[in-house]
A and B are shown apart, each in its own frame.
Chain A
Amino acid sequence: MSFLIKRPAARREILRGLLGGAAVALPLPYLEIFLNTHGTALASGAPLPVRFGTWFWSMGHTPGYAVDPNTDQLTFLKECEALTPYKSRINYFGYFNSPLDGHPNHVHQSGWITVRTGTAPPKPADILAPTLDVLVSDHIGGSTRFRSLDMGCTGNPKDSLTARSTHVRNPSEVSPIALYARVFGPGFADPNSAEFKPDPDLMLQKSVLSGVEEQRKRFEKVLGAADKARMDEFATSVRELEHQLALQSEKPAPADACRIAAKPDDMPMGTELPVAQANHEALTKILTLAVACNQTRVFNMSFNDTLSSIRKPGTAYTHHTLTHEEPVDKNLGYQPEAFWFNCRSMDALAAFIKAFESVREGAGTLLDNTLIFAHAETSFAKIHQIDNIPMFTIGTAGGKLKTGRHIAGHGDPVTRVGLTALQAMGLPLEKWGQGSLQTAKPIGEILV
């Protein structure tokens, strides 16, 4: 997995170069020489990078209106119509359960936590194990500037479903302009640029981090045992930033699909649906190019918050309150407004897929080299049901997954899907999850 990364230059080497006033100019990269003749791998024979991301929507589906349960063939119904053009790139997983081992169903929390961590939270905020994106990031995220990019579309950084533990959460980037600045602002080096001139500040920043680490070691000596574990996390964070700086000190490897994103306009943030949709579109655009430019290999996108606060402008009810308070239309057989919002979530997922599909990479698209794991936090929000939470995988993870399947879980734990995704991303895991959620059975019929 080191196709992009050369050995980071030692600090002293770079410093010597800087002291000598040397700027490094490297030969012009010819993109085609970095791919094999079929465009399916790098010329070195190493495969194209595989990326992993999650996509979250809340409030689940309207039972009976999302996916036809009567056939193994993936057939989208009215609520998921927007996904039909991408049917061949998708797997749908239904009838997998979230056993809580006696813990209460913390509404709109327990469901997503079981799906993402393989654990049942005793309290609503408990994260007893890292979310699966963090596990993937630990495995493959070290080769890029950002181990992960995490985004939310409803304006609140707290709306995030990625965490290492209860107290180590990865807040969402909610502003497209801030995400742009973080990825394509200072510190970004165009991988396809002919010239590379390392910033003389970089090595001094590494010296700052060395000093911080030295200070951490001193600090830790006066701590009690319980706090030392917290400092281990701090140390990891310092190392990650050091690694980021080390990558910035080097000429980045060319990236066939990389195009520099345009700077987005300053946009309003909030829970009105058109605002959330506009932010989703803008964040997705920056994300796909960040991925294509090898700035990250792991990402998390939350279309709405777990208590779906999205709403139509000028109305008193949010999506969430509608799922509880809107009457069922006797003729239609469902809650029409809540259904409408569910459809908009699927529209957004379709747009997300399209964005990855539209970036050409090698002989295919970015989606070919990506695995997107999309899911909700309930199956039927009206009654907070967490069995049969809808889940999708999208993309083949670089050919590791078959697609176009409708997989019925028959009550198996939801963790079977997570374990499958983790194994597809190359994690050497035989089992995953805790208690009744633990499983050693990936979904063999879709693994290649």
Chain B
Amino acid sequence: MIRKLASLALLSLTLAGCGPTEPQTTGGPAVTRRLTESQYRSVIADVFGPQIVVAGRFDPLLRTDGLLTIGAGSATVGAAAFERFHALARSIAAQVTDTTNRDVLVGCGPQDLRTADDSCATEFYSRIGRLLFRRPLTTDEVRDQVKLAREATAVRGDFYTGLAYGLQTLLEAPDFLFVVERANGKQLDDYAKATRLSLLLWNTSPDDVLLQAAEGGKLKTEDGLKQEVDRMIASPRFKDGVRAFFTDMLSLDDTTNLQKDTTLFPAFTLTAANDGKEQTLRTLVDLLVTRNVDYRDIFTTRETHISNALGLIYRVGVNDPSGWSRFDFPSDDPRAGIQSQVGFVALHSHPGKSSPTLRGKAIRELLLCQRVPDPPGNVNFDKFNDPDSPLRTARERLAAHANDPACAGCHKLTDPIGLALENFDGLGQIRDNENGAALDLSGDLDGVKYANGAELAKALHDNPAAASCVVNRAFTYAAGRQTVSDEKAFVVYLEKTFADSGYKFPSLIRRIALSDAFYAVSGQGAGQSPAAAKAGTTEDKS
């Protein structure tokens, strides 16, 4: 305990010089979360290579407290979902063992292809199973797959075909589909630590090096943990982790179902929709990782990347029609910040028109972490629907609507923000009028007045809720659950140190990854670590 406290003090000094020290927390419950689609795909690509096709649809997770990652902590696998996982596992196992891939991915084989080879099967399942289960397999687990491979080889008359069945079993097992967090006392065990780290930093399972660090007890030490965290943050794979986090925080997964009326918006294509998401992610990674600038600059930046499909929407030329080009909007361009990009304004619009309310709600909820209440059930649209109304712009219509006290409370939260983006139509194309009427883009955000979207960008940049929001989201994303009351001081500490760092996002993530709080567990949900797993001994005689 003394050693731990000493390490903690040293760690704090190392992290923040003479800055604040990390408050002690008892942690929240360990979480058993289902792999997300992107995690599943990443793991398969990492373990077997990108040539393995993961062809299939995944059942959607329920966004909870702002994040799909938190929803994954309550998700199970219903019958339809399991049917799909079964089909995926079958397909992946067949590819891994086919003639194209077996030499590299299996790496061993029998003398006679028609006969079983327990030794090869044991080596294969032990090696692959450790990567899939994020811990070594027990002897029982290996034995079961070897037995199945042997039986299947006898039935099918082919060793590799038989081998696929055991691999399929591993890919359908809950140990793969769910990330379970075992604990040693009040801290996660080393494998669970490694998994949390890997999901946070790389959005995938631990690699061999990290598993070795877990196996060797390295993650228990300050230096060992720091070495692994710094290795992973320095890796190009860190960008994958950052992309996954912002995809979740900004609900960019919804792009998959984005639809626009192509009669009204001929520039809209599925490619443009996907490129809109990609543009936002490229902008974020470039700013926050490659250039390591102030996080809040994401709201004001005019530096981005565009594709040919986006060039049509932005009405600008692109340098590389077949790929992505760096593009900077001029300093007087109305487009500033990720909230002005297609990936945001098109996503938070109707199929045929813009929506100040949806855009304002998205900025409040996604970028500032402020809850906008659901609309009341007894909305009165009579004023809104006046057929003799001369109202031509969304501002005029919403003003009439918001005069109803039942509606005003929420619309005052959302509409002023969204109206500042009304010079972007439902697809995100620039416009200077609506139905022939000039647009008034002015408003105020929490008392800060602005005249247009560019000024709104500055107001967002300076709004304390913006930085606080990303800190809260990052920690809950990392832990896979909402914060508990005991962690409030820790979150305040993160906010303070984030500000002290100049709002550097990698610094925030590194601080979380090195914190004691990140690995602390208490309460329900924490299974105990099976020491036998590490030793590869039998834990289950049944």
Instruction: List A residues at the B interface (Cβ < 8 Å).
Output: 15, 18-19, 104-107, 110, 124-125, 147, 150, 155-158, 164, 166-171, 178, 200, 203-205, 207-209, 211-212, 214-219, 221-227, 230-231, 233-234, 236-238, 240-241, 244, 270-272, 309, 311, 313-318, 321, 324-330, 335, 382-384, 386
Check A19–B154 contact: CB distance below 8 A. Answer: yes
| CA A251 to CA B422, docked complex, whole Å | 63
Indicate if B259 sits at the interface (CB-CB under 8 A): yes
Indicate if B311 sits at the interface (CB-CB under 8 A): no
Contact pattern, B 147-186, Cβ under 8 Å of A = 1, otherwise 0: 0100110111000000001101100111100101010000
Closest residue of A by beta carbon distance from B93:
A208
| CA A225 to CA B154, docked complex, whole Å | 41
| CA A190 to CA B263, docked complex, whole Å | 44
Residues of chain B lying within 8 A (CB to CB) of residue A164: 78
Indicate if B387 sits at the interface (CB-CB under 8 A): yes
Residues of chain A lying within 8 A (CB to CB) of residue B76: 167-168, 230-231, 233-234
Check B257–A158 contact: CB distance below 8 A. Answer: yes
Closest residue of B by beta carbon distance from A236:
B79
Q: Report B5-49 residues with CB < 8 Å from chain A CB.
A: 29-30, 32
Residues of chain B lying within 8 A (CB to CB) of residue A226: 29, 524-525
Q: Contacts A207-B165, A241-B83, A311-B352 hold; do A215 and B173 have CB atoms under 8 A apart?
A: yes
Q: Which of B55-63, B274-282, B448-456, B504-512 contacts A (4 or more CB under 8 A)?
A: B55-63
Nearest CB of chain B from residue A384's CB, rounded to whole Å: 5
Query: Would you give 8 A-B contacts (Cβ < 8 Å), ordered by A?
Result: A105-B376, A147-B79, A203-B155, A218-B175, A316-B264, A316-B352, A324-B385, A384-B378
Nearest CB of chain B from residue A100's CB, rounded to whole Å: 9
| CA A158 to CA B251, docked complex, whole Å | 14
Contact of A217 among B86, B397, B426, B540 (CB under 8 A): B540
Nearest CB of chain B from residue A233's CB, rounded to whole Å: 4
Residues of chain B lying within 8 A (CB to CB) of residue A218: 138, 140-141, 175, 539-540
When A and B form their complex, which 8 residue pairs have the shortest distance between CB atoms, in order from nearest?
A: A105-B377, A314-B263, A316-B352, A222-B527, A327-B387, A237-B82, A211-B169, A224-B525
Indicate if B353 sits at the interface (CB-CB under 8 A): yes
Closest residue of B by beta carbon distance from A309:
B351
Closest residue of B by beta carbon distance from A163:
B78
Query: Which of B30, B83, B182, B257 lies at the interface centre, i.e. has the most chain A CB atoms within 10 A of its CB?
Result: B257
Check B263–A271 contact: CB distance below 8 A. Answer: no
Check B353–A317 contact: CB distance below 8 A. Answer: yes
Check A240–B79 contact: CB distance below 8 A. Answer: yes
Check A204–B351 contact: CB distance below 8 A. Answer: no
Check B352–A168 contact: CB distance below 8 A. Answer: no
Q: Specify the main secondary structure of chain B where it touches its partner.
A: loop
Check A217–B542 contact: CB distance below 8 A. Answer: yes
Nearest CB of chain A from residue B175's CB, rounded to whole Å: 5
The number of A-B residue pairs with CB atoms under 8 Å apart is 220
Check A211–B144 contact: CB distance below 8 A. Answer: yes
Check B32–A215 contact: CB distance below 8 A. Answer: no
Indicate if B489 sits at the interface (CB-CB under 8 A): no
Contact pattern, B 62-98, Cβ under 8 Å of A = 1, otherwise 0: 1000000001001111111111001000100000000
Check B75–A167 contact: CB distance below 8 A. Answer: yes
Closest residue of A by beta carbon distance from B63:
A125
Contact of B148 among A19, A158, A207 (CB under 8 A): A207
Indicate if B528 sits at the interface (CB-CB under 8 A): yes
Q: Report B349-374 residues with CB < 8 Å from chain A CB.
A: 350-353, 374
Nearest CB of chain A from residue B151's CB, rounded to whole Å: 7
Contact of A222 among B77, B378, B385, B528 (CB under 8 A): B528
| CA A124 to CA B86, docked complex, whole Å | 31
Q: Contacts A18-B155, A167-B71, A171-B60 hold; do A237 and B79 have CB atoms under 8 A apart?
A: yes
Beyond A224-B29, A309-B351, A315-B264, 13 additional pairs, beta carbon < 8 A: A19-B155, A104-B374, A104-B377, A124-B374, A147-B79, A158-B60, A170-B80, A171-B59, A208-B168, A211-B145, A237-B77, A324-B381, A383-B379
Contact of B78 among A125, A170, A207, A211 (CB under 8 A): A170
Q: Contacts A222-B527, A240-B79 hold; do A318 and B74 have CB atoms under 8 A apart?
A: no
Check B173–A204 contact: CB distance below 8 A. Answer: no
Nearest CB of chain B from residue A43's CB, rounded to whole Å: 32
Residues of chain A lying within 8 A (CB to CB) of residue B324: none
Query: Which of B76, B141, B178, B182 lies at the interface centre, i.e. has the most chain A CB atoms within 10 A of its CB?
Result: B76
Residues of chain B lying within 8 A (CB to CB) of residue A270: 259
Indicate if B530 sits at the interface (CB-CB under 8 A): yes
Indicate if B380 sits at the interface (CB-CB under 8 A): yes
Residues of chain B lying within 8 A (CB to CB) of residue A106: 374, 377
Nearest CB of chain B from residue A326's CB, rounded to whole Å: 7
| CA A124 to CA B169, docked complex, whole Å | 37
Check A219–B57 contact: CB distance below 8 A. Answer: no
Nearest CB of chain B from residue A242's CB, rounded to whole Å: 10
Closest residue of B by beta carbon distance from A147:
B79
Check A169–B86 contact: CB distance below 8 A. Answer: no
Indicate if B222 sits at the interface (CB-CB under 8 A): no
Closest residue of A by beta carbon distance from B173:
A215
Indicate if B526 sits at the interface (CB-CB under 8 A): yes
| CA A324 to CA B353, docked complex, whole Å | 15
Check B86–A241 contact: CB distance below 8 A. Answer: yes
Query: Which of B145, B155, B397 lies at the interface centre, i.e. has the most chain A CB atoms within 10 A of its CB?
Result: B155
Check A231–B261 contact: CB distance below 8 A. Answer: no
Q: Contacts A216-B174, A386-B377 hold; do A330 and B387 have CB atoms under 8 A apart?
A: yes
Indicate if B50 sits at the interface (CB-CB under 8 A): no
Nearest CB of chain A from residue B254's CB, rounded to whole Å: 9
| CA A330 to CA B387, docked complex, whole Å | 9
Check A227–B259 contact: CB distance below 8 A. Answer: no
Check A233–B175 contact: CB distance below 8 A. Answer: no
Residues of chain A lying within 8 A (CB to CB) of residue B154: 19
Nearest CB of chain A from residue B139's CB, rounded to whole Å: 12
Residues of chain B lying within 8 A (CB to CB) of residue A223: 32, 180, 525, 527
Contact of B169 among A158, A170, A212, A327 (CB under 8 A): A212
Contact of A227 among B32, B386, B387, B389 (CB under 8 A): B32
Q: Report B124-150 residues with CB < 8 Å from chain A CB.
A: 138, 140-141, 144-145, 148
Residues of chain A lying within 8 A (CB to CB) of residue B175: 215, 218-219
Indicate if B375 sits at the interface (CB-CB under 8 A): yes
Closest residue of A by beta carbon distance from B178:
A219
Check B60–A157 contact: CB distance below 8 A. Answer: yes
Check A214–B530 contact: CB distance below 8 A. Answer: no
Nearest CB of chain B from residue A130's CB, rounded to whole Å: 11
Nearest CB of chain B from residue A149's CB, rounded to whole Å: 10
Q: Report B508-542 residues with CB < 8 Å from chain A CB.
A: 524-530, 539-540, 542
Check A212–B353 contact: CB distance below 8 A. Answer: no
Residues of chain B lying within 8 A (CB to CB) of residue A110: 377
Query: Which of A105, A204, A208, A222 lies at the interface centre, i.e. has the most chain B CB atoms within 10 A of its CB?
Result: A208
| CA A168 to CA B527, docked complex, whole Å | 23
Check A107–B144 contact: CB distance below 8 A. Answer: no
Check A222–B169 contact: CB distance below 8 A. Answer: no
Check B81–A309 contact: CB distance below 8 A. Answer: no
Residues of chain A lying within 8 A (CB to CB) of residue B264: 314-316
Closest residue of A by beta carbon distance from B64:
A125
Nearest CB of chain A from residue B88's CB, rounded to whole Å: 13
Indicate if B384 sits at the interface (CB-CB under 8 A): yes
Contact of B525 among A156, A200, A227, A327 (CB under 8 A): A227
Check B526–A224 contact: CB distance below 8 A. Answer: yes
Q: Contacts A171-B59, A241-B82, A383-B380 hold; do A216 and B173 have CB atoms under 8 A apart?
A: yes
Nearest CB of chain B from residue A249's CB, rounded to whole Å: 14
| CA A222 to CA B389, docked complex, whole Å | 65
| CA A386 to CA B524, docked complex, whole Å | 39
Closest residue of B by beta carbon distance from A323:
B381
Closest residue of A by beta carbon distance from B80:
A170
Residues of chain B lying within 8 A (CB to CB) of residue A207: 148, 151-152, 165
Check B80–A208 contact: CB distance below 8 A. Answer: no
Residues of chain A lying within 8 A (CB to CB) of residue B166: 211
Q: Contacts A211-B148, A233-B77, A240-B79 hold; do A156 and B257 have CB atoms under 8 A apart?
A: yes
Nearest CB of chain B from residue A204's CB, rounded to whole Å: 5
Nearest CB of chain B from residue A302's CB, rounded to whole Å: 14
